[in-house]
């Protein structure tokens, strides 16, 4: 498995827009938080979160290839279960359904980053003091962070997490990285 610094270099080598790098870093943080919650390999889950959209700059106009091109870009640098999770995170387009805890965690984990980030950007204190209860309210407002899939976030239930607990894990995971993610005030 490749070291984190190499994974970050690999991600950046495909010239992603800055917001995509921030999304990758946020997903890495959430996946590490979920790995800790489930007693999984935090390094593996984190690197998978970091690289899950590595092919997006190349596939943004062909969503049916998003996740599949990543397989070639990553090669054998991540174990097969990580590559499977990356392909399954876009199951709507790839047809590769999530089958494991890892697969499902990546799907809901990468989706929640948009909600948390959007909430931090409108709060006077950014990430500081954010609560799951306020995110639950934001989820009900379909106009708030409209592109964020509430259905995917709710897939946290498929991995045995109640929505409030899942949102708390995401907040706690992203808060230490708030400055790097541009979410501080």
Domain extents for the chain?
4-181
Angle at 56 between CA 55 and CA 57, to 5 degrees: 95
pLDDT at 10: 95
Please report, for residues 53, 78, 125, 179, the alpha-carbon distance to residue 86 in angstroms, rounded to integers and kept in the order given.
8, 10, 33, 26
d(CA 110, CA 87): 13
d(CA 143, CA 33): 28
Cite the beta strand spans of the chain per DSSP E.
none
Chunked into runs of 10 residues, the chain (185 residues) has average pLDDT values of 95 93 97 98 98 95 94 95 96 92 98 97 94 96 95 97 98 96 87
CATH topology for 4-181 is Hypothetical protein af1432 (1.10.3210)
Which pTM does this prediction carry?
0.96
Residue 152 · residue 108 · CB < 8 Å: yes
pLDDT at 68: 94
Please report, for residues 65, 70, 74, the alpha-carbon distance to residue 58 in angstroms, rounded to integers and kept in the order given.
9, 9, 14
Burial class (CB in 10 A: 0-12, 13-18, 19+), 66: buried
């Amino acid at each position: 498995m490749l070291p984190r610094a190499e994974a970050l270099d690999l991600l950046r080598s495909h010239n992603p827009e800055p917001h995509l790098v921030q999304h990758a870093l946020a997903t890495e943080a959430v996946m590490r938080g979920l790995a800790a919650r489930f007693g999984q390999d935090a390094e593996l889950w984190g690197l998978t979160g970091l690289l899950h959209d590595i092919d997006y700059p190349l596939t943004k106009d062909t969503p049916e290839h998003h996740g599949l091109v990543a397989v070639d870009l990553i090669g054998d640098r991540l174990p097969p279960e990580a590559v499977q999770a990356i392909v399954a995170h876009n199951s709507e387009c790839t047809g590769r359904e999530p089958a494991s805890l890892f697969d499902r965690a990546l799907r809901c984990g990468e989706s929640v980053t948009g909600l948390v980030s959007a909430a931090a950007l409108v709060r006077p204190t950014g990430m500081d003091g954010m609560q799951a209860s306020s995110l639950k309210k934001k989820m009900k407002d379909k106009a708030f962070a409209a592109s964020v899939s509430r259905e995917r976030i709710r897939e946290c239930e498929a991995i045995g997490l109640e929505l409030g607990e899942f949102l708390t894990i995401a907040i706690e995971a992203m808060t230490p990285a708030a400055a790097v993610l541009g979410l501080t005030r």
